[in-house]
Amino acid sequence: MAVNRETLDTLLEENRIFYPDKEFVARANVNDRAIYDEARADTQGFWAKQAENLDWFQKWDRVLDWDNPPFAKWFVNGKINACYNCVDRHVLTSRRTKPAIIFEGEPGDIRTLTYEELQREVMRFANVLKGLGVSRGDRVAIYMPMIPELAIAMLACARLGAPHSIVFGGFSPESLRDRINDAAAKLLITADGGWRRGKIVPLKHNADDAVAECPSIESVVVVRRTGQEVPMIEGRDYWYHELMERAAAECPCEETDSEDMLFILYTSGTTGKPKGVVHTTGGYLVGTSTTHRIIFDHKEDDIYWCTADIGWITGHSYVIYGPLANGATTLMFEGAPDWPQQDRFWDIIERHKVTVFYTAPTAIRAFMKWGRKWPEQHDLSSLRLLGTVGEPINPEAWIWYYKNIGGGRCPIVDTWWQTETGQIMISPLPGITPLKPGSATVPFPGINIDVVDKQGNSVELGKGGYLVIKEPWPAMLRTIYGDDQRFIDQYWSHFGDRWWYFAGDGVRRDYDNYHWILGRVDDVINVSGHRLSTMEVESALVDHQAVAEAAVIGKSHEIKGQAISAFVTLKEHVWQEIRNGDMDRKELQKALKAHVVKKIGAIARPEDVFFTAELPKTRSGKIMRRLLRDVAEGRALGDTTTLADPAVIAKLKAQYEGKES
């Protein structure tokens, strides 16, 4: 993600504005714009004030140490325990009997854990870990489905000051092995299996393959979830339920340091070797709990649901740590949105009376494709606030979400952030910020973001450029595990000797100072010297009534430098019409090109439009444009190990080469 282009040309304009509703404003946790000025005038004072909402064993003596950039220390010498803040302190209040976690499994099994029950389980499991030799500083790998034991395991690690490294259950044995070895984890917690669309994901089987090549692993703890027979290796493998029966009930919290490592989370880099993003304790908890409280306008009686898997940063920060630090009720769902039917999410919202719902644009575009009829069969009136994260949301999907899920009454917080930032960085505050569909709006109070050209000069309003963060923030990554140099090179070396964090994303700031994320700069297209963002052309395509989802890429072109190739999935009824002969493929391709020209201009006209049943995506749902470039340019496919489903790209490639678009 080298910074090697000037600025990004931005052409697409979205002008609709949605103002916060008076009643929402009146009840909002934050409804006074002064918060922005306060945070700007005294940023450290602002974060220190937020930190007062947590319980510290010992107060910090300095808010921020930035003497040795880019290595930041927050709440220096503060002593704090993440598990204590997420669990124990609530047990001392009326939240004792409040549900902390509402769990729904894919088969429909439901389990609720109050704060008190959660504490009981976590203490026991912390004792189990101790019994297996885990102590402060030891890394623990976790490879589990979305079940309560996953939350219990991570909180138990936090209780002991043993950093966890969670590997998403959809990863292969090789990926698991590489992550375990990089962190030299001592223990692995897994399950026999997890449910995925009625089938079993063979987690223990995968774990066995991985652990065979992991010399650091001493023991494996296995939760019984799916119940099928799995081999257990004597002296290495233990059943969770058997260990729990024997474990002592009481376990104190370690008085960990604010800068002790809370977890490592691996994220795919541009090279094959995954990067272990390191997050520490005090600053991370301050960043995640503050943003959760303010952006999701957390209220005591909320039923809060973030649909992300805990294996991703969104799950760490906004299923577990942020909400639980605030004493929220957080919902965990094991399954898929289309199993057994395409209304599973709406069914869950209706039954559990979910009030705040946070999901990804890739899911919203799938809901659009499946049609309004699914949400229409459910009472979604409990909802009061919606959120999105993970990719730019095209205005069309935003409006669909707003109307069909939010019933036109719920603000949408479009939250921009990264594994590395740990906490939300750009987002509306729902009681303050007028919303523009497709814009993540403005930086959170206390966050200093700028849009710059490759020399580091701020670009004028209305222009696009590189998204940089100019000052440290509490939940920022501290390093790449075991590789400080890579940390420096990757994030901090793009603008000479200035210690600015470069996020890898392009962004446009409009005349109201609103931020429009243009996507990864590696995905930028250059047509006849105009730098276009893939996201804008995709947005224009999805704006057409026939289109469900689109991915565009730049394909080498002898005259223009690059030409735009569009890969488009159509709405279900449109496929039907094509099959019936009521719609002509060629005509539709022409119409889509014309639509882009109308929305953006002739410069953005796609050279070709290719219809495909599915787009290649990462396991967390982000479109992998790099592979589409390989297909369009007739190359062998590059690294496909992060794909959710390799069959999608193989099929797409075969069709593309057979030109049966």
What residues line the site for ligand 7RM (CB under 6 A)?
Answer: 267, 313-314, 389-392, 414-419, 440, 503-505, 517, 519-520, 620
User: In the bound complex, what is the minimum distance in angstroms from residue 548's beta carbon to ligand 7RM?
Assistant: 19
User: In the bound complex, what is the minimum distance in angstroms from residue 393's beta carbon to ligand 7RM?
Assistant: 7
Q: Please, are residues 271 and 70 in contact by the beta-carbon 8 Å criterion?
A: no
- DSSP class per residue in 283-347: HHHHHHHHHHHHHTT--TT-EEEE-S-TTSHHHIIIIIIHHHHTT-EEEEE-S-TTSSSTTHHHH
Task: Determine the Cα–Cα distance for residues 422 and 317; give it in Å rounded to an integer.
Answer: 7
| CB-nearer residue toward ligand 7RM: 333 or 417 | 417
| CB-nearer residue toward ligand 7RM: 114 or 419 | 419
The two three-digit tokens of residue 163, written as one number: 């950093």
User: In the bound complex, what is the minimum distance in angstroms from residue 317's beta carbon to ligand 7RM?
Assistant: 8
Q: 567, 564, 569: which is closest to 606 by C-alpha?
A: 564
| CB-nearer residue toward ligand 7RM: 355 or 533 | 533
End-to-end distance of the chain based on CA atoms, in angstroms? 32
- CB within 8 Å of 37: residues ≥ 6 apart: none
User: In the bound complex, what is the minimum distance in angstroms from residue 72's beta carbon to ligand 7RM?
Assistant: 19
Task: Determine the Cα–Cα distance for residues 11 and 510; give it in Å rounded to an integer.
Answer: 11
| CB-nearer residue toward ligand 7RM: 302 or 414 | 414
Q: 67, 131, 119: which is closest to 93 by C-alpha?
A: 119
User: In Å, how far are 80, 173, 227, 264 from 261, measured between CA atoms?
Assistant: 12, 25, 34, 8
Q: 625, 599, 594: which is closest to 609 by C-alpha?
A: 594
User: In the bound complex, what is the minimum distance in angstroms from residue 536's beta carbon to ligand 7RM?
Assistant: 12
User: In the bound complex, what is the minimum distance in angstroms from residue 386's beta carbon to ligand 7RM?
Assistant: 13
In terms of phi and psi (left: phi > 0; alpha: psi -120 to 50; beta: otherwise), the region of 482 is left
User: In the bound complex, what is the minimum distance in angstroms from residue 637's beta carbon to ligand 7RM?
Assistant: 22
| CB-nearer residue toward ligand 7RM: 187 or 313 | 313
User: In the bound complex, what is the minimum distance in angstroms from residue 392's beta carbon to ligand 7RM?
Assistant: 4
User: In Å, how far are 180, 193, 310, 362, 527 from 196, measured between CA atoms?
Assistant: 24, 10, 15, 18, 42
Task: Determine the Cα–Cα distance for residues 117 and 527; give it in Å rounded to an integer.
Answer: 59
User: In the bound complex, what is the minimum distance in angstroms from residue 390's beta carbon to ligand 7RM?
Assistant: 4
| CB-nearer residue toward ligand 7RM: 167 or 313 | 313
Tokens 């409280």 belong to residue: 293
| CB-nearer residue toward ligand 7RM: 148 or 337 | 337
User: In the bound complex, what is the minimum distance in angstroms from residue 423's beta carbon to ligand 7RM?
Assistant: 10
User: In the bound complex, what is the minimum distance in angstroms from residue 363's beta carbon to ligand 7RM?
Assistant: 13
> b vs e for 323-336, b when ≥16 Cβ sit within 10 Å of the residue's Cβ?
bbbbbbbbbbbbbe
Residue 344 CB neighbour total at 10 angstroms: 19
| CB-nearer residue toward ligand 7RM: 240 or 398 | 398
User: In the bound complex, what is the minimum distance in angstroms from residue 571's beta carbon to ligand 7RM?
Assistant: 23
Tokens 């376990």 belong to residue: 251
User: In Å, how far are 168, 416, 439, 452 from 469, measured between CA atoms?
Assistant: 28, 13, 18, 10
Q: Please, are residues 389 and 417 in contact by the beta-carbon 8 Å criterion?
A: yes
| CB-nearer residue toward ligand 7RM: 313 or 459 | 313
Question: In sequence order, what are the beta bridge partners of 502?
Answer: 468
| CB-nearer residue toward ligand 7RM: 47 or 318 | 318
User: In the bound complex, what is the minimum distance in angstroms from residue 82's beta carbon to ligand 7RM?
Assistant: 19
| CB-nearer residue toward ligand 7RM: 360 or 609 | 360
3-state SS record for 169-218: CCCCHHHHHHHHHHHCCCEEEEECCEEECCEEECHHHHHHHHHCCCCCCC
Task: Determine the Cα–Cα distance for residues 277 and 264; give it in Å rounded to an integer.
Answer: 5
Task: Determine the Cα–Cα distance for residues 10 and 267; give it in Å rounded to an integer.
Answer: 29
User: In Å, how far are 170, 471, 503 from 427, measured between CA atoms?
Assistant: 29, 17, 16
Q: 36, 108, 135: which is closest to 339 by C-alpha?
A: 108
| CB-nearer residue toward ligand 7RM: 302 or 391 | 391
Task: Determine the Cα–Cα distance for residues 552 and 623; give it in Å rounded to an integer.
Answer: 10
User: In the bound complex, what is the minimum distance in angstroms from residue 467's beta carbon to ligand 7RM?
Assistant: 8
User: In the bound complex, what is the minimum distance in angstroms from residue 627's beta carbon to ligand 7RM?
Assistant: 17
User: Do the strands 261-267 and 237-239 form a parallel or antiparallel pair, or are they unpaired?
Assistant: unpaired
| CB-nearer residue toward ligand 7RM: 442 or 570 | 442
| CB-nearer residue toward ligand 7RM: 161 or 519 | 519
Task: Determine the Cα–Cα distance for residues 511 and 532; give it in Å rounded to an integer.
Answer: 19
User: In the bound complex, what is the minimum distance in angstroms from residue 414's beta carbon to ligand 7RM?
Assistant: 5
| CB-nearer residue toward ligand 7RM: 100 or 308 | 308
Task: Determine the Cα–Cα distance for residues 134 and 117; give it in Å rounded to an integer.
Answer: 23
In terms of phi and psi (left: phi > 0; alpha: psi -120 to 50; beta: otherwise), the region of 340 is alpha
User: Do the strands 140-143 and 194-196 form a parallel or antiparallel pair, or are they unpaired?
Assistant: unpaired
| CB-nearer residue toward ligand 7RM: 193 or 465 | 465
User: In the bound complex, what is the minimum distance in angstroms from residue 581's beta carbon to ligand 7RM?
Assistant: 39
| CB-nearer residue toward ligand 7RM: 406 or 504 | 504
